[in-house]
């Protein structure tokens, strides 16, 4: 027996209401509820899947897969996944339109196919002929790469069971629909149900499934948040379409670090991995200019040298402007307050702009000292030496606190030819003598400002 009824579901968070409302009661979004037909089943309908259930067993008796990880040939992509594609995993990848999601996954399919594995690319937004044109532009030709244009979930699952692919790409999950549901493709009910069955298929067959997801205007993956909870790995493509560099950031990963990023360059023949990203972000860093400093930042297990720039100019009229790009606005506001209170820099009537070169986003507090020194450098018209890197967290009392993984940061700075490093005094104790770089230890922000005069 089954009962049907009408409910209104928020397309952002999945909140349900029996009547239409202008504003979602769950996430607060306006005009996001859509009418859907909901069917509730009564009775023991779960008996049909009883034959597939597994019995509990000791973890010591669980058999490990013979090849748990498959390398894709792209070191940047393998590293953020935790060594390669995990057998039976479900990966959700999101990004703005035209950022390069389909291009990257098509290239990964080509690399896997050339190793003798079967890959299945299911496109719901293009025809097979259109996908072939894009593949020819990327020089992708392999008999092991299967392509089909399909949006019906039942037919997609049938193709997966018939071809037994090692890797499956669903482009995109918002276009897939289950015919038994009355709602339209892309709605919360369709996305949740289709993703659930695809992920179950990945676990039962051993095929790694990549789900391409659309993003909202806020930059998050469209659909219910449970979609990210179900997937094993969640990746976000970042970058501006006007720039050639793309950043693939890990938001969730059950098989590796959740702080890794992969950097790629968009060329006419597709996305190419960047082997030495530090040289990109500091390409102009050695020029003698005020308000510019190099900071070693940690992205997962890798250290990157990032150039940070600050511009301080007198405000001619009205309220002084504060513009920030690449770092947290509230963090910069706190550093400005510390500079005014502890260092007595008169910044109240100044327009201040802070920018991270290359479009990368820095969230760690180890960049505090670099932000403070670049602001002071631009305000005083004093140049920070071009062979110096700056590391440290700034406290409200003006003290410079220690940071983690200091040795990895210094090794990266030394590799790229930097001669000096301004570091917190508390970090000096744990550093060995093998570094060929001069260490300038500071305990307070005032000591660091004195270095630039």
pLDDT at 430: 67
How far the first Cα of the chain sits from its last, in Å, is 81
Residue 102 known to bind ligand: yes
Taking the C-alpha atoms of residue 349 and residue 351, their distance in angstroms, rounded to an integer, is 7
Residue 123 known to bind ligand: no
pLDDT in tens, 367-377: 999 999 999 99
Sheet containing strand 2-10, strands side by side: 16-17, 2-10, 33-41
Q: If 0-12 CB within 10 Å is exposed, 13-18 middle and 19+ buried, where does residue 429 land?
A: exposed
Q: CA nearest 37: which of 178, 155, 157?
A: 178
Q: What percent of the chain has pLDDT over 90?
A: 51
CA 322 to chain centre: 26
Q: CA nearest 375: which of 285, 295, 449?
A: 449
Q: Is the pLDDT of residue 434 over 80?
A: no
Q: Is the pLDDT of residue 397 over 90?
A: yes
Taking the C-alpha atoms of residue 37 and residue 9, their distance in angstroms, rounded to an integer, is 10
Q: CA nearest 189: which of 412, 419, 34, 362?
A: 34
Tokens of 192: 């949740």
Average per-residue pLDDT for the chain = 87
Q: Is the pLDDT of residue 118 over 80?
A: yes
Q: CA nearest 5: which of 38, 30, 32, 36?
A: 38
Q: Is the pLDDT of residue 289 over 90?
A: no
Print burial letters for 20-46: b (CB count within 10 Å at least 16), e (below 16).
Answer: eeeebeeeebeebbbebeeeeeeeeee
CA 28 to chain centre: 25
350: confidence class by pLDDT, cuts 50, 70, 90 = very high
Tokens of 418: 């930097």
Q: CA nearest 389: which of 291, 299, 287, 306?
A: 306
Q: Is the pLDDT of residue 45 over 50?
A: no
285: confidence class by pLDDT, cuts 50, 70, 90 = very low
Average of pLDDT values for 171-200? 89
Distances (CA, A) of 426 to 372, 419, 431: 19, 20, 10
Residue 97 known to bind ligand: yes
Q: Mean pLDDT lowest for which of 7-16, 166-175, 188-197?
A: 7-16
CATH number of 67-275: 1.10.645.10, 3.40.50.300, 3.40.50.2300, 1.10.150.120? 3.40.50.300
Average of pLDDT values for 116-136? 93
Average of pLDDT values for 424-452? 86
Average of pLDDT values for 29-50? 61
Taking the C-alpha atoms of residue 368 and residue 14, their distance in angstroms, rounded to an integer, is 39
In the block, residue with structure tokens 């440290």: 392
Q: Is the pLDDT of residue 244 over 90?
A: no
SS3 120: strand
The torsion angles phi and psi of 341, rounded to 5 degrees, stand at -80, -45
Residue 216 known to bind ligand: no
Taking the C-alpha atoms of residue 323 and residue 239, their distance in angstroms, rounded to an integer, is 19
Taking the C-alpha atoms of residue 323 and residue 341, their distance in angstroms, rounded to an integer, is 21
Residue 99 known to bind ligand: yes
Residue 98 known to bind ligand: yes
Residue 280 known to bind ligand: no
Q: Is the pLDDT of residue 336 over 90?
A: yes
Q: If 0-12 CB within 10 Å is exposed, 13-18 middle and 19+ buried, where does residue 54 land?
A: exposed
Q: Mean pLDDT lowest for which of 33-47, 72-86, 387-401?
A: 33-47
CATH number of 279-451: 3.10.270.10, 3.30.230.10, 3.90.1150.10, 3.30.70.60? 3.30.230.10
pLDDT in tens, 290-330: 999 999 999 877 889 999 999 999 998 888 999 999 999 99
Q: Is the pLDDT of residue 51 over 50?
A: no
In the block, residue with structure tokens 């309220």: 319
């Amino acid at each position: 027996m089954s009962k049907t009824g009408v409910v209104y579901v928020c397309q952002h968070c999945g909140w349900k209401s029996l009547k239409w409302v202008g504003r979602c009661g769950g996430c607060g979004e306006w005009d996001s509820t859509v009418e859907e037909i909901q069917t509730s089943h009564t009775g023991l309908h779960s008996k049909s899947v009883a034959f597939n259930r597994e019995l509990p067993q000791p973890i010591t008796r669980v058999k490990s897969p013979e090849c748990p990880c498959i390398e894709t040939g792209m070191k940047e992509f393998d590293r953020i996944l935790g060594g390669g594609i995990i057998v039976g995993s479900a990966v959700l990848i999101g990004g703005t339109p035209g950022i390069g999601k389909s291009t990257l996954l098509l290239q990964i399919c080509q690399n896997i196919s050339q190793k003798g594995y079967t890959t299945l690319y299911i496109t719901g937004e293009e025809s097979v002929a259109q996908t072939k044109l894009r593949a020819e532009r990327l020089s992708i030709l392999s008999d092991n790469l299967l392509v089909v244009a399909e949006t019906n979930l039942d037919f997609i699952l049938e193709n997966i069971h018939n071809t037994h692919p090692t890797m499956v790409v669903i482009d995109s999950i918002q276009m897939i629909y289950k015919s038994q549901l009355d709602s339209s493709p892309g709605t919360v009910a369709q996305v949740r149900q289709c993703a659930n069955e695809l992920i179950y298929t990945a676990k039962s067959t051993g095929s790694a499934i990549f789900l391409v997801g659309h993003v909202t205007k806020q930059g998050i993956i469209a659909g219910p948040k449970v979609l990210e909870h179900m997937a094993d790995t969640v990746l976000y493509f970042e970058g501006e379409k006007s720039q050639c560099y793309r950043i693939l950031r890990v938001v969730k990963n059950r098989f590796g670090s959740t702080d890794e990023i992969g950097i790629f360059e968009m060329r006419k023949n597709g996305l190419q991995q960047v082997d030495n990203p530090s040289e990109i972000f500091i390409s102009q860093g050695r020029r003698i200019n005020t308000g510019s400093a190099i900071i070693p930042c940690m992205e997962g297990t890798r250290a990157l040298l990032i150039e940070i720039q600050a511009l301080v100019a007198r405000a001619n009229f009205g309220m002084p402007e504060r513009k920030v790009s690449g770092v947290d606005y509230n963090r910069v506001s706190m550093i400005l307050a510390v500079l005014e209170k502890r260092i007595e820099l008169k910044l109240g009537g100044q327009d201040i702009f802070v920018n991270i070169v290359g479009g990368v986003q820095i969230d760690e507090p180890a960049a505090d000292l670099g932000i403070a020194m670049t602001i002071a450098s631009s305000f005083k018209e004093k140049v920070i030496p071009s062979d110096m890197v700056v590391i440290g967290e700034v406290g409200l009392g003006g003290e410079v606190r220690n940071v983690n993984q200091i040795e990895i940061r210094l090794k990266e700075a030394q590799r790229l030819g930097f001669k000096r490093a301004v570091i917190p005094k508390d970090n000096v104790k744990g550093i060995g003598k093998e570094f060929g770089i001069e260490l300038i230890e500071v305990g307070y922000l005032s000591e660091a400002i004195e270095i630039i005069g």
